[in-house]
């Protein structure tokens, strides 16, 4: 093959917020699939907060992206060459192709997508990793019970909006937190939150706490944690006894360096958290959804039809062109996106 | 009745470490038991770290002791008058009599103790609230598995020594943390810990972490949390994926005020904790054993015979005289006691 492809590589490790200088657009030959492998032309790729962690070399649950390596991402696209019986050219597949126009993966690492079942972008958001993260984290570690109150931040994002909608279906009062009046309106009108607090309208954790307390008259039973920072500090004293806190992320701290002891970026002291966990008998569980893929078919069976029927809403924010992925990613870390951030690659 | 009794009241709320000025020894008439009530002459009372929390008026799982009110404590003693068929004079009973020579309680709030089964002081430690806390917290939230590694601080105390011994019986490697070489020797020789680190020999969390890492070559699967502070900061980066942290206390922070956001007393930032919980998929559970008394009979059935047979060791530190309870309590908060701190009242 003599065709060329493009990819975006990690050019340098950021300290704090990433900028354009930390990415480079590279051109090279389209790779040739080996035995059992499949070549995919990526149509859409996903941008997710976890990718910020891969830019650091701090020890985490996944290896960092090496300097010069392709930024990691899930994507959906069309098979254009296959050395596997499982895929034919023209099939659509989800896989970890990275920030790239093309990718080769072993067929076993790919999931076939049927475009007849709906927009293929759903595999990146509402029916993909973020939606599954919200669903599984809520059901497994949140243990929702009718009549309880749930709080989730980034309420219009693909995780938060799933958490809110599933919790609502289970009879909980759902209170979202989002940045700006427009997102709050989206949270209540589109995603059915009972209330949504604009964290930008509250200067500090204390003010945010008052606003949350007013919307959570019976306290908070489940805080689905994906942001950390000011929201966490506001929420934790409002937790009810025997409350649950699933933790899937902490985006507000991702640009704060490796968060080692003594790191800057937040002043909340550990004793404040720890004491509340003790005196409220809280159950706090960190998780990454990649440890739970065995439960993915059950999720898809339950939630897929609800998405198809319009009972579960989702919103996508689609940037155009691979070359615009870094800017879209920087915006994502600042909450500039509305809904699931996707890049249209082709 | 015209007999007099003594009690120790909360004279003032301490800021930081309590001193003699925060307690007052009061004398008054022995109370008369009402219908269904029992009067007990207290022989031994328990001193426990949780009592420090009752001296503050911060919101917690229990109401604070009011100024002038009797300090709270469990005790064992002899029934000297009874208006209940369940107890006769001469019976021994455990109850929450407070820091006092005598106490009246409804018979339903008392547990009968048979002195023929061993020293009645066991009801305050190894077979009482602290021992049950260690056992239940480990089994319910620690979920020990053979071959894993457990770390617990205050390893010679009544909670830590129970945790270590039960974990050892389940085939774990047990590493204690204690203050001073003598306590470390006690931990390994008497309580069977595989190793014990003297936290006083390590100036900061980093040095303590190195010492722990050397004794935990396969990482830490369970950290039974009862101290917080430097030990927590040392331990948490050593946690293995899917590790568990039951939290029953955090004595190192008890004198740091109410630990609200921004409170002094520790510099560990919350993101450091939170990030480790996320990236290691930790399960962190706060609990207070008083929510779990339904499981106490099962504990007593399993552990009671092991204590009687000498298979589970315990060490008591007995102060003489109610008037010395404040000094013994202040010492307890500084780790001056060796083993379960008890006050002999009679």
Of B59, B266, B271, the CB nearest to A271: B266
Instruction: Judge: B261–A280 Cβ closer than 8 Å, yes or no.
Output: no
Q: Rounded CA gap, A37 and A45, in Å?
A: 20
The alpha helices in chain A, defined as continuous H runs, are 50-54, 129-137, 158-169, 181-189, 205-215, 229-235, 270-279, 296-308, 325-333
Quick: pLDDT tens for A94-146.
999 999 999 999 999 999 998 888 899 999 999 999 999 999 999 999 999 99
Q: Is A232 an 8 Å CB contact of chain B?
A: yes
From B292, which residue of chain A is nearest by alpha-carbon distance?
Answer: A281
For residue A299, pLDDT over 80 is answered with yes
Residue A144: how many other CB atoms lie within 10 Å = 22
Range A129-288 has CATH code 2.30.30.240: no
Residue environment code for B240-257, b if the CB has 16+ CB neighbours within 10 A, otherwise e: beebbbbbbbbbbbbebb
Could you give the CA distance from residue B234 to residue B216 in angstroms, rounded to a whole number?
12
Q: Do A273 and B273 touch (CB under 8 A)?
A: yes
Q: Does B263 touch chain A (CB under 8 A)?
A: yes
How would you label B85-105 residue by residue, b for 16+ Cβ within 10 Å and e otherwise?
Answer: eebeeebbbbbebbbbbbbbb
Instruction: Find chain A residues with C-beta within 8 A of B273's C-beta.
Output: 270, 273-274
Contact B274 A228 (CB under 8 A): yes
* A266–chain B Cβ distance below 8 A for any pair: yes
A256 touches chain B (CB under 8 A): yes
Residues of chain B contacting A271 with CB distance shorter than 8 Å? 228, 250, 253, 256, 259, 263, 265-266, 268
**The two three-digit tokens of residue B6, written as one number:** 């003594």
Across the interface, which of B248, B268, B277 has its CB nearest the CB of A247?
B277
Q: Which residues pair with A178 in a beta bridge?
A: A198
How far off is chain A from B101, nearest CA to CA, in Å?
30
Confidence band, pLDDT 50/70/90 cuts, at residue A2:
low
Which pLDDT belongs to residue A267? 59
**B265 shares contact with chain A (CB less than 8 Å):** yes
User: Does any CB of chain A come closer than 8 Å to the CB of residue B90?
Assistant: no
Residue B115 burial (CB count, 10 A)? 11
B260 touches chain A (CB under 8 A): yes
B281/A284 CB distance under 8 A: no
- Nearest residue in chain B measured CA to CA from A250: B275
Q: What CATH number should be reported for the domain whose range is A4-125+314-344?
A: 3.90.180.10
With contact defined as beta carbons under 8 Å apart, do A58 and A258 qualify? yes
Is the CB of B272 less than 8 angstroms away from the CB of A284? no
Per-residue pLDDT of chain B (346 residues; tens, 9 = 90+): 458 999 999 999 999 999 999 999 999 999 999 999 999 999 999 999 999 999 998 767 788 999 999 999 999 999 999 999 999 999 999 999 999 999 999 999 999 998 888 899 999 999 999 999 999 999 999 999 999 999 999 999 999 999 999 999 999 999 999 999 999 999 999 999 999 999 999 989 999 999 999 999 999 999 999 999 999 999 999 999 999 999 999 988 877 654 443 334 445 778 889 999 999 999 999 999 999 999 999 999 999 999 999 999 999 999 999 999 999 999 999 999 999 999 999 8
* pLDDT for res B184: 98
Is A270 in the B-facing interface, judged by CB distances under 8 Å?
A: yes
Which residues in chain B (286-345) have CB-CB distances under 8 A to chain A? Answer: 286-288, 291
Residues of chain B positioned with their CB less than 8 A from the CB of A234 = none
Q: State the smallest CA–CA distance between residue A266 and chain B in angstroms.
A: 7
The predicted model gives A262-285 an average pLDDT of 80
Considering only CB atoms, which chain A residues are within 8 Å of B287?
A: 278, 281
Average model confidence (pLDDT) across chain A: 93
Q: Please count the other Cβ atoms lying within 10 Å of the Cβ belonging to residue A86.
A: 14
Hey, what are A179's tokens?
């940045």
| Candidates A259, A281, A291; nearest CB to B291 | A281
Q: Nearest-CA residue of chain B relative to A58? A: B279
What are the domain boundaries of chain A? Answer: 4-125+314-344, 129-288
> The domain B129-289: what is its CATH number?
3.40.50.720
């Amino acid at each position: 093959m003599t065709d060329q492809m493009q990819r975006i590589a990690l050019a340098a490790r950021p300290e704090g917020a990433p900028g354009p200088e930390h990415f480079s657009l590279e051109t090279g030959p389209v790779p040739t699939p080996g035995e059992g492998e499949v070549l995919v032309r990526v149509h859409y790729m996903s941008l997710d907060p976890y990718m910020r962690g891969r830019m650091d070399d701090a020890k985490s649950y996944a290896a960092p992206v090496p300097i010069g390596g392709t930024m990691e991402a899930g994507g959906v696209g069309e098979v254009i060459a296959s050395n596997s019986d499982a895929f034919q050219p023209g099939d659509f597949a989800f896989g970890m192709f990275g920030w790239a126009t093309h990718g080769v993966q072993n067929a076993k690492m790919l999931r076939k997508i049927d475009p007849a079942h709906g927009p293929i972008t759903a595999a990146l958001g509402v029916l993909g990793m973020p939606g599954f993260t919200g669903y599984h984290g809520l059901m497994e570690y949140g243990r929702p019970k009718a009549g309880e109150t749930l709080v989730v931040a980034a309420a219009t994002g693909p995780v938060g909006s799933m958490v809110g909608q599933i919790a609502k279906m289970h009879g909980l009062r759902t209170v979202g937190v989002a940045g700006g009046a427009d997102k709050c309106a989206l949270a209540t009108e589109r995603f059915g939150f009972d209330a949504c607090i604009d964290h930008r309208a509250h200067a500090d954790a204390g003010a945010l706490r008052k606003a949350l307390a007013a919307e959570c008259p019976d306290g908070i039973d489940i805080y689905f944690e994906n942001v950390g920072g000011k929201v966490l500090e506001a929420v934790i004293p409002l937790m009810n006894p025997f409350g649950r806190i699933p933790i899937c992320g902490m985006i507000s701290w991702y640009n704060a360096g490796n968060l080692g002891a003594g790191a800057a970026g937040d002043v909340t002291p550990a004793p404040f958290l720890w004491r509340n966990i003790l005196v409220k008998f809280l159950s706090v569980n960190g998780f990454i959804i990649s440890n739970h893929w065995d439960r993915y078919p059950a999720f898809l069976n339950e939630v897929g039809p609800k998405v198809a029927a319009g009972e579960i809403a989702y919103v996508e924010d689609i940037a155009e062109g691979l070359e615009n992925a870094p800017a879209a990613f920087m915006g994502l870390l600042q909450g500039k996106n509305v809904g699931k951030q996707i890049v249209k690659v082709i």
